[in-house]
Structure 1
Amino acid sequence: MPRFALITGASSGIGLALAEALARRGQALILVARQRDALDSAACELSQRFGVEVLFRVCDLSEPLQISGLLHELEQSGRQIELLVNNAGVGTSGAFIDQDWSREQELLELNVLALARLCHGIGAMMERTGGGRILNVASMASLLPGPWMSSYYASKAFVLHFSEGLREELKGRGIKVSVLCPGPTRTAFYRNADMRLGKLDDGKRVMTPEEVAFLAVKALRRAPAMIIPGWRNRLFACGVRLLPRWVMRKLAGRINRLALAS
């Protein structure tokens, strides 16, 4: 039986690009998302193009009971997960107290609780079967506070710090943990969050999902603690460390407000 990589949010964007990059290297896949038609199409295409086994499971990861069902099915199936990619996530934009609370709650359930739950459940399975790797997808937003996207930035800060802590806890158990921090990427994320990239989307500052996935999968061979794809993003990360937090807070707030207004 093949060893699988399980990827959440795998029906589009970075998740789908990661699935393709892994399939290209002969990796069997389990794709997880909410959209059945998109998952079915992606699974068929990847299997035919690369000759690997590709399964899919429809699961709304913002619903705890559906996560429990997914974990139970994985336990019962006996399929071995050698790589968990926690990519699923959503964003909201605008002043926090003006948002519909149900959207904010969904963000926290998906970006924070679902990711932690899958790390807990699948991490335990990995330990029992000899180890594995976990790649959690955060964002450059994890490095600073983000006014007008406060919940999203905070949720990605959780992913970053949680992943680094988990890395230390699990390295003696045969499980390697890395966190991916992409910058602005040309996906449906901004449209779904009611934002536009505007002047940032000049073809140079914004990477494609395929570029992010290629660099991430390439870096996974070394299993570093943090993967920041693209030299512009790495330069920005250095700037965040050097500049006062109040400056970064003001800058992020200005950029986010402009994206709302564009």
Structure 2
Amino acid sequence: MKNTALITGASNGIGLELAKIHASKSHDLVLIARNKSKLEEIKKELEEQYKVSVYLIIKDLSEINAAQEIYNETTEQNIQIDYLINNAGFGDYGMFTETDWNKELQMINLNMTTLTHFTKLYLQDMVLRGRGKIMNVASTAAFQSGPTFAVYSATKAYVLSFSEAINNEVKDKGITITALCPGATKTGFQDVAAMNDSKIFKSKNLPSAKEVAEFGYASMMKGKTVAIHGIMNSILAFSSRLIPRAIVVKVTRIVLDKA
């Protein structure tokens, strides 16, 4: 049986790699992003290589009611969403008093509001069918406050907490919710967030988007609730619960500061 996955932020990075993985298993896709030409290239490549159906929706997911509009479209097209992957998101780097409010508002809408609305809409259908999987892409930033990255870290803390809670609510209904928590990864994220000069992204040993996507997809299929990519990231995430928060915040500031 084919399982159709809806993937947001599918034009590059982890979202694109997740689309390739899902298509390689002969499953269909609904891909969402703002870049029409890029999505059309991906659609052609995946359909030709894997003989699957790829439905495209060009949308800015930071817009209010974006999730409802997309849900309405997939319903009208009789597309059943079996896997929902809320991957789209972005950050903004800098002191909170100096960052741009409009960009932060878009971030809040995308990282939290649209993700939550998508989850509510498609989860209700999954409950009726008694099956389905959802993966919400959070971050290792979810485990501690992030000076110079304050709003982004807060949005990802929300995603993690939300995903864990909803997973508990539906665990007996044939559905799993996975919060994928990658650390710094080789994607275009740091360009949008304007943090190429930060110490954390200066590392030459960052994992690729493909590595993170493979880990995340496997974790979703296993039904893991929280999937932290990388041994060191796992150690740091859980050690932050044992160390006084004031110290964790100070250390995080050092790591996020410019090199």
With normalisation by structure 2, the TM-score equals 0.94
Provide, for residues 174-200 of structure 1, a one-character-per-residue CA deviation record: whole Å limited to 9, x for no partner.
221110000110011111111116654
Task: Report the number of matched residues.
Answer: 258
* Distance in structure 2 (CA, Å) of the matches to 1:216 and 1:43: 22
Residues 1:49 and 2:52 aligned together: no
Aligned to 1:232: 232
SS in 2 for 1:81: coil
Aligned to 2:158: 158
Aligned to 1:109: 109
Aligned to 2:176: 176
Does 142-151 or 188-197 show the bigger shift? 188-197
Aligned to 2:220: 220
Q: Is contact 2:199-2:257 (8 Å) kept? A: no
* Distance in structure 2 (CA, Å) of the matches to 1:197 and 1:47: 38
Structure 1 unmatched runs, 5+: none
Aligned to 2:134: 134
Q: RMSD of the TM alignment (CA)?
A: 1.6
* Distance in structure 2 (CA, Å) of the matches to 1:193 and 1:143: 19
SS in 2 for 1:187: coil
Aligned to 1:80: 80
Aligned to 2:207: 207
With normalisation by structure 1, the TM-score equals 0.93
1:169–1:210 CA distance, 2 compared to 1 (3 A): same
Aligned to 1:245: 245
Structure 2 unmatched runs, 5+: none
Provide, for residues 134-189 of structure 1, a one-character-per-residue CA deviation record: whole Å limited to 9, x for no partner.
00000000000001110000000000000000001112332211100001100111
The structure with the largest helix share of the pair is 1
After superposition, residues 181-196 of structure 1 pair within 5 angstroms as 181-196=181-196
* Distance in structure 1 (CA, Å) of the matches to 2:197 and 2:169: 38
SS in 2 for 1:161: helix
Provide, for residues 186-221 of structure 1, a one-character-per-residue CA deviation record: whole Å limited to 9, x for no partner.
0111111111166544432x1100000111122223
